[in-house]
Homo-oligomer: A and B are copies of this chain.
């Protein structure tokens, strides 16, 4: 099961995620889940508070087992990042460390550039309570600061990972679902639209809609503009023409009844 889900090794090595002194196993599981959501798989743990492995991590990963199965545990942050060419530290509170501070978007761009050159890179996150200490941050090349609202800065660990992982994913494929864009189908050509307009306008004429008659041109315009804006497909044009026919026929029946009634009254 896990084997089937586990992604094949891609051409590139996405950034690894390093959690420094994480506290709750549930949060480690949630981190694994968002990593999998955005195509990251390599997880490194520095001194997890409750030891490792922890069953609760797997329980909260919702099936994203592979980052947990393959997670490596380290005694020191230095050891955890030893083989990396670039490490960015994510913190909501950039300290007075003299490091550049980037948004997750800028950071993801840098990481993507490095990865494209075959370099191993990582994103470092602090524990739930304390975050990262200045001496941890000082091991990194830059700081990533998520644009949190000043009035409520308590960001969940997995959320911090997911914002960064999402931005990473965006660098890898700006529009991975491009095929879905064809959701918006080929719009009908103008001749087809004109057929719809004229059908509608003709039926409205029969229904006595244009009144006073001198207002007809502006009334027609006011109907055409929103229909033009909708960029109807051929199918939608057919549907709307069906609607016009159905409604008009309905009126025909009403009219026939009225005529009958009028005739009766005359008798």
Contact = CB atoms under 8 A, between A and B. Distances in A.
A147 B174 CA distance: 8
B154 A7 contact: no
Contact of A259 (B5, B7, B263): B263
- This protein's copies in its complex: 2
Interface string A185-211: 100000000000000100110111101
Q: Which bucket holds chain A's interface residue count?
A: 35 or more
A166 interface: yes
A181 interface: yes
Given A184-B99, A259-B259, A251 B254 contact: no
A94 interface: yes
Contacts of A242: 209
Q: Is the interface of A mostly helix, strand, loop or mixed?
A: helix
Interface in A136-172: 143, 145-156, 158-159, 162-163, 166, 169-170
Given A250-B255, A254-B249, A263-B262, A147 B177 contact: yes
Contact of A166 (B146, B154, B156): B146
Contact of A145 (B152, B174, B177): B177
A249 to B, nearest CB: 6
A180 B250 contact: no
Most chain B Cβ neighbours within 10 Å, of A151, A158, A223? A151
Contacts of A7: 149, 151-152
B255 A236 contact: no
A147 B166 contact: yes
A145 B37 contact: no
A209 B243 contact: yes
Most chain B Cβ neighbours within 10 Å, of A97, A101, A159? A159
* Ranked 8 nearest A-B pairs via Cβ: A208-B254, A259-B262, A207-B250, A230-B230, A247-B247, A262-B263, A36-B152, A208-B251
